[in-house]
Each structure stands twice: as C-alpha cells, then as structure tokens.
Amino acid sequence: MSLFSDIFSRFDLVFAFLFVGLLMSVSILLSRVLFRARIPGAAIAITLGLVLAWFGGKKGVADFPVMSGLSLLGGAMLRDFSIVSTAMGASLSEIRKSGPAGIASLFLGIVTSFSIGSAVAFSMGYTDVKSIATIGAGACTFIVGPVTGTALGAASDIIALSIGIGVIKTVVVTVLTPLIAKRIGLDNPHTAMVYGGLIGTTSGVAAGLAATDPKLVPYGALTATFYTGTACLLCPSLLYFLLALLLP
Amino acid sequence: MKIYGVAFLSACFLAGQVLGELLGRLFHFQGNIGGVGFGMLLLIVLGDRLKRKGWMGEESESGIHFWNAMYIPVVVAMATTQNVKAAVAGGWLAVAVGVGGTLACFLLIPVMARLGRKSDTPHNENDKV
C-alpha cells in the first residue's frame, strides 16, 4: 500500500487530475441515474467535494498527503486562471446586442444577490465587514464568494460558507428553472439573456436552460459569463466599500 | 500553436492582476481589487481584436478553451480543499442566503424582461397593441 501512497503523494498534481476526473464521472452518473440529469453533474461534484472536505481538516482533504495535489489544482492560481479563460466564450459586440436590458439585469442581479446575502449574514450575527461581504458575494456565485474572500483576506471557514451558498444557489436554479420557466416568460432569447444576467451562476443557468429549452442555452450563458467577472470586479471593491460605509 | 493561446491568456491574467493590485494600493487596501475581472475584460477586448485581425487562429484559441473546460474540475478540486467542518456551523445561513437570494432574482426576471423589450425590439408585433 505504501508503494501507491508514495507514488500518489510524489506526483500529487497528476493524482489530483485523476481524482477529480473520477469524482466528475461518478457525479455525472449520479446525476443521470438519481436525478434524471435535472441537477447538473457539476453541482453534484462540487457538493460531493464539499462533503469529502468535511472528512479532512483546515485544508479539506488536502490535509492528507496523498491528496495534497488538490490544493494546487483547486488553489487560487489555477482557479483564477481558468475563470479568466471562460471570458473567451463571450464577445463585447454580442453583449451589446443583448441591449441595455442584459447589462442592467447583470448589475441588478449582482447588487440584489450581494445585498440579500449581506443582509442575511448581518441579521444572523456577523459583524465583520470582510465576512459579510464574502457571504454576500457567495450569494452571487460559488466563484465570486471565494475570489472576494481571498481578495479581502476573509477566514477559510467563511470562504467555505460562501462556496456552500453558491452551490445551493446553483442547485436551486437548476431545479427551479424548468419548473417556473413558463410563469416568468422564459421562452425567448431576450428573456434568456436577462435571466442569465440576473441569476449569473453559469453552470446553473446552462443546466436550467438546457432542461427548459436547449436553444436558449447560449443566450443565457452569454450574459452569465459576464456575471462572474463583473461580480469579481464589483464585490471586493465598490460593493465592499459601500457595505463598509453602511455598517458601523 | 496552442501555447500562443495559453501565453495570451497568461498575459491578460497577469495584466489584470497588476491592475487589480494597483487599484488596491490606490485605495490603501491590503489585497487585489478585481484582478480576475480585469483579466476577463482584457481577454474579451483584446481577444476580439486579435481574432478580427486574424492574428489568433483556431489552434491558438483551443489553448484557451482547454483552460475554459478545466474551470469546473478546478472548482471541484477547490471544493474538496475547503474548511467545511467550520462552515457547517453556519448551515442555516447558507440555505437562507442561497434560496432567498435566488428567489429574489427569479422574481426580477419578468420585470427586467418587460423593461428591456420595449426598447430592444421596436418592430415587434406587440407595438401595435
């Protein structure tokens, strides 16, 4: 056994690739078998990841030497790098086409999520502005929370909480979208763009739209792609400063 | 070459980080303000320009798309390395924020869609009504 653990911990990043790949495939299988693909494999994989992390310590499962590669693969550097790369899917001219409604919903969605997240955090007894801002950012997406938390220097447990909030949001969006699509008029590209801007969690939006009408996916994903970037720009800066001004 | 795309992505990323760091210092604030967001904006604006001039082929772009596809696996890896035990203490908060915030945004969808459509599609049949 020590032969395997020796090799795995020596080539920890490579083992992390294998581990995440297996985790993703199990999650996609679970998604198909248990939830008829209504909950995206990505949301299940992230949830499973958080469950696994519970068995670890301060650095989650990366506290085990064999799993240390996960803290490199899932560390701030590669995380931010891969997030920036998603912007390649969107072009400025296309976002212009979505018109003022798309851009307005982008900002309204970020401010609404951030405000509600911050308000709930404050009402539940958090007084530290950095923690409140990180929780508010978590209400945007599971990316914006940790990016904001890292930028502001929030504690690891708050960052984990913000990821948990973002994951819950992704699951809620995915399950709820096809159920209430008709009622909110989500049956055309224009509304899909507004929807992507307001909701913002790319995996939730893409999965929710796929379950509603696959033709709408690119429209919702287009504005949703801008959401994370815009929120990463606004949450640790403007919204954080406004929050700091509001709180004693 | 795929590495051209990756190198271009790296340049945008690093420039974004520098901008974010400078903005942080401007506000006398310990840390980086919106470095990731600036990186994304740079990639969108410059990437669009490079593609239009024909300086970035599909092969180069596929280097960027690889990292795009790695986004979810990286987030999964990130999830496994969080201090979840400590976060579980705030469980109800996570549920309240996750569900409450999402529902509020859902309610805004029909409102925003109506506002935008009037100005967006002036030749729509609805205008006759």
What are B35-81's pLDDT values in tens digits? Answer: 777 888 788 889 888 988 988 888 999 999 999 888 889 888 988 88
Domain boundaries, chain A: 2-75, 89-246
Neighboring chain A residues of B103 at a CB cutoff of 8 Å: 172
Q: What is the pTM of this model?
A: 0.72
Quick one: closest CA in B to A121, which residue?
Answer: B93
- Which of A72, A53, A56, A73 is closest to A64 using CA atoms? A56
3-state secondary structure B16-79: HHHHHHHHHHHCCCCCCCCHHHHHHHHHHHHHHHHHHCCCCCHHHHHHHHHHHHCHHHHHHHHH
Q: How many angstroms away from the CA of B110 is the closest CA of chain A?
A: 5
Neighboring chain B residues of A142 at a CB cutoff of 8 Å: 75
What is the DSSP-derived secondary structure letter of residue A38? S
Residue type for position B14: L
Q: Which residue is associated with the tokens 């068995």?
A: A55
How many beta-carbon pairs under 8 angstroms link A with B? 321
**pLDDT tens-place values along chain A, 248 residues long:** 688 889 999 999 999 999 999 999 999 999 899 988 777 788 788 888 888 988 988 888 999 989 999 999 988 899 889 878 877 766 566 556 666 788 899 899 999 999 999 999 999 999 999 999 999 999 999 889 998 999 899 999 899 899 889 888 887 887 788 888 888 999 887 888 899 999 998 777 877 887 787 677 767 877 787 788 788 888 998 999 999 999 87
Cβ–Cβ under 8 Å, residues B17 and B32: yes
**Bridge partners, residue A60, by sequence:** A57
**CA torsion angle B64 B69 B75 B77 (round to 10):** -100
Q: How many angstroms away from the CA of A31 is the closest CA of chain B?
A: 15
Close Cβ partners of A210 (under 8 Å, ≥ 6 residues apart): A217
Q: How many angstroms away from the CA of A62 is the closest CA of chain B?
A: 6
Residues A102-113 as b or e (16 or more Cβ within 10 Å = b)? bbbbbebbbbbb
Among candidates A54, A88, A158 on the partner chain, residue whose Cβ is nearest the Cβ of B61 = A88
Close Cβ partners of A116 (under 8 Å, ≥ 6 residues apart): A136, A139, B97, B100, B101, B104
